[in-house]
Structure 1
Amino acid sequence: MKTIAIISRKGGAGKTTLAVHLAVAATIDGLSTAIIDLDPQASAAGWGDSRTLDAPAVVSAQAARLPKVLEAAASNGADIVFIDTAPHSETAALAAIRAADLILIPCRPAILDLRAISDSIDLVKLANKTVTVVLNAVPPRGSSASEAIEAIATYGVAVAPIQVGQRAAFVHSLTAGQTAQEYEPSGRAAEEIEQLYKWICKQVNI
């Protein structure tokens, strides 16, 4: 079983959006998939409750219970698990980091977001792990993405080669208990998630 942690100490970075979209991509790919929601706001769990489909499985849990929940997921045959973390909880973020095969930090290409990722990067380094930043909600025009990549380089961490755009399909689909792949299968949002998912599979040898 592979475990992907999605962390950010900043709220509004797109952790839940990324977690549920990647989990659905894995489900579409035929993998037994689960989302573990460590955020007390339980946004991912709420999304799971609003779905008409059973997969992916969504479990709300406390950080202290994460090892047991992961153990249960593995024993139930999960192939891949995505952990959605709370923005202001160092405990939840560290628990997810320690359990993960791959750690992603979603980050919008805006100055406040770019400054805020340093806290998340410090946590990852504290656990002696490596991390990849995923540029999220990238505007369709302008140079903000390339400027963000330059800024992130100063932290000495990698940036995923796939960027996720600022697209209405992400918002509309989640409201309906879906993801962009289900809401608008041939749209750009679905295509970007599919490319990011394929990249993740290569990183964790799926």
Structure 2
Amino acid sequence: MIISVLNIKGGVGKTTVAVNLACSIQQAGQKVLIIDTDSQGSALAWQGQREQNDVMLISLPNAVVLRKQALKLSEEYDTVIIDGSPNVDTLAAVSIALSDLILLPVGPSPLDIWASSKMVSKIEEAQAINPSINAAFLVNKFNGRTLISQETEMVLKEYPLEMMDTKLGSRVAYADTMTQGLSVLEWHDKKAKEELQSLHEEINRKWLSLKKVV
């Protein structure tokens, strides 16, 4: 299964989602690989801080190489997670085409939603050619007590993509663990752990059987 974590806007938590989901999959006993396609190398930086060598990660910030390698690698791993670059470019188009599932992290901000529109259009174009590509918004940095978080949910429901039932809260744990090469599963924030476990379980429940046939 190939999961891409994409959005055009930086700072929405793509890498945070990618590495935490990878750690959850690894802890469940599955073989997982992260492909860092962002030239900023945020996932690589996270791995550089990690003491354990339990989550494999490679850098492929080139569309041609990604296209050649990703499907081959997906045969060697149970799950491949592509940490996307913050651009709507050839690299993003290749990531979309390769994916069984695309997660679009969106923060409670009008800027995040507006930026997502371009990526949604690219996904719809790809789905018109290949309807087996699945995609869903993942609300990140959520705070149910704020009006903007509530409004973000309502606005996203107007888009043609599904929205994950699971939401990731606005928690310091996500930032603190990233700087230390950890996941929230290895941290002391119970709520963050529960959110990540819920996300993993929801993906399994809805899409575990997916496998791209090319």
The two structures share one fold, judged by TM-score above 0.5? yes
Partner residue of 1:189? 192
| CA distance, structure 1, for counterparts of residue 194 and residue 24 of structure 2 | 10
CA offsets 1:154-194 (integer angstroms, 9 cap, x no match):
2222110000001011111111111111122x521111011
Partner residue of 1:150? 154
Partner SS, residue 104 of structure 1: strand
Q: How many residues align?
A: 203
| CA distance, structure 2, for counterparts of residue 130 and residue 153 of structure 1 | 16
Question: Offset at 1:204?
Answer: 2.1
**Farther off after superposition, 83-92 or 32-41:** 83-92
User: What is the correspondence of 1:13-92 to structure 2 with a 5 Å cutoff?
Assistant: 13-61=12-60, 62-75=62-75, 77-92=76-91
Preserved CA contact (<8 Å) 2:36 2:58: yes
User: What is the correspondence of 1:162-173 to structure 2 with a 5 Å cutoff?
Assistant: 162-173=166-177
**Farther off after superposition, 189-198 or 152-161:** 152-161
Please list every run of 5 or more consecutive structure 1 residues that lacks an aligned counterpart in the other structure: none
Amino acid at match of 2:15: T
Partner residue of 1:127? 126
| CA distance, structure 2, for counterparts of residue 131 and residue 90 of structure 1 | 18
Residue identity (%): 30
Amino acid at match of 2:187: Y
Provide runs of 4+ in structure 1 moved above 4 Å.
Answer: none
Preserved CA contact (<8 Å) 1:4 1:101: yes
Partner residue of 1:204? 207
Query: Structure 2 length normalisation: TM-score?
Result: 0.89
Identify if the C-alpha distance between structure 1 residues 173 and 200 changes in structure 2 by more than 3 Å, giving closer, same or farther.
same
Preserved CA contact (<8 Å) 2:7 2:14: yes
Partner SS, residue 149 of structure 1: helix
Amino acid at match of 2:186: E
Question: Offset at 1:140?
Answer: 5.2
Partner SS, residue 54 of structure 2: coil
Question: Offset at 1:143?
Answer: 3.3
Question: Offset at 1:203?
Answer: 2.4
Preserved CA contact (<8 Å) 2:88 2:119: no
Query: Structure 1 length normalisation: TM-score?
Result: 0.93
Please list every run of 5 or more consecutive structure 2 residues that lacks an aligned counterpart in the other structure: 128-132, 210-214
Preserved CA contact (<8 Å) 1:138 1:144: no
How big is the alpha-carbon RMSD for the aligned residues of Structure 1 and Structure 2? 1.5
